[in-house]
Structure 1
C-alpha cells in the first residue's frame, strides 16, 4: 500500500462520524487559509528582495507553501497539484483581504483560526476520538489532503 493511502486511511479512522466530517469540510480549509494568512503577515523584506519588490506574493507564506507542496509531492503528485492550487487560492484570498483593508490580515486570520479550531474540537467531541495530529503532527497536513482526495474521487481523478 502506498504511503499516501496509509496516511489517508489512518486519518479517516478518527473521522467516521458524519457531523465531524461535515465540520471538517468547513474548518480544515479555514484553518489552512488562516495559517497561510498568518504566515503572509510576517514582514518579508528578505523574501521580497529575492522574489521582487512590490510582488504581492513575495512573502513567507509563498515560501512555506512551496515547502508544503514538496512534502505533498513526496506523497502524491496529483494531490500535490490540487493542494498547490488551493494554496494559491489562499494566497489570493489573503491578498484580497489586504486590499480591502477592512482589518489587518493577521487579525482576520487569528479570528478564523480560533473559530475553526473550536469547530474542529467540537467535531472530535461528537466523534469521540482525539484529533489525529495528537498522534503525529504530520496529520495537520494530511487533513487537507484527505478532503482533496474526496474531491479527486468525485471527479474521477486518480490520486
Structure 2
C-alpha cells in the first residue's frame, strides 16, 4: 500500500512534471544522445566561463563566481529532489576540480577560449538534435528558461534510472 502511495505522491512532484514535459520534447534517440553529450558540456562551459570572471577583492580566488552559481544551482536541484541535488553536487565538484586544474595549468585566457569553444560546439549539437532531421521540436528552454536548469538534472536522472537508483 505504501508503494502505491509513494508512487502517486512522487508523480506529483514538480521535478516529475518538469521531466515529463522535457522528455516530451526529447523523444528522438539521436536527440537524446546529443543531449547526454552536449548538456554536460554546456554545463561545464558555463562553469568555466564563470570561473574566468575576476574575483572581487583579495579574499576570494579564481572560481568564486562559478562556486557561487554552483551552490545556488545545487540548492535548486536539492529542493526539487534530494537524490538529484546530491548527485548534482558531485557533478559540480568534479567539474569544479577539472576547471580549477585547467585554470591553474593553462591560465585564464586558455580556459576562456576552451569554454567558449565547447559552449558554441555543444549548442550547435543541441540545435542539430532539435532540427527537423531528428526531433523537429523547439528546445524546451524557448518556452521557459527554467529548462536550462532542468536539462542537466534530466541527463543525471537518465543515469540514475540506468543504475536502478530512484530520484
TM-score relative to the length of structure 1:
0.91
Deviates more, 1:124-133 or 1:102-111: 102-111
Matching of residue 80 in structure 1 with residue 85 in structure 2: yes
Higher RCO by CA contacts (8 Å cutoff, separation 6 or greater): 1
Q: Give, in angstroms, the shift of residue 13 of structure 1.
A: 0.4
Q: Give, in angstroms, the shift of residue 77 of structure 1.
A: 0.7
Question: Which residue of 120, 129, 132 maps to 1:114?
Answer: 120
Counterpart position of 2:147: 139
**Separation in structure 2 between the aligned mates of residue 67 and residue 151 of structure 1, nearest angstrom:** 23
5+ long unaligned stretches in structure 1: none
Matching of residue 35 in structure 1 with residue 46 in structure 2: yes
Stretches of 4+ aligned residues off by more than 3 angstroms: none
Length, aligned pairs only: 153
Question: Which residue of 3, 8, 14 maps to 1:3?
Answer: 14
Q: What aligned pairs does 1:7-156 form with structure 2 within 5 A after superposition?
A: 7-46=18-57, 49=59, 59-101=64-106, 104-125=110-131, 126-156=134-164
**Separation in structure 2 between the aligned mates of residue 151 and residue 18 of structure 1, nearest angstrom:** 15
Q: Secondary structure at the match of 2:33?
A: helix
1:60-109: per-residue Cα shift (whole Å, max 9, x none)?
10011000011111200100011111111111111121233176211110
| Larger-gyration structure (1/2) | 2
Q: Give, in angstroms, the shift of residue 26 of structure 1.
A: 0.7
Q: Give, in angstroms, the shift of residue 31 of structure 1.
A: 0.1
Q: Secondary structure at the match of 1:45?
A: coil
**Separation in structure 1 between the aligned mates of residue 106 and residue 50 of structure 2, nearest angstrom:** 18
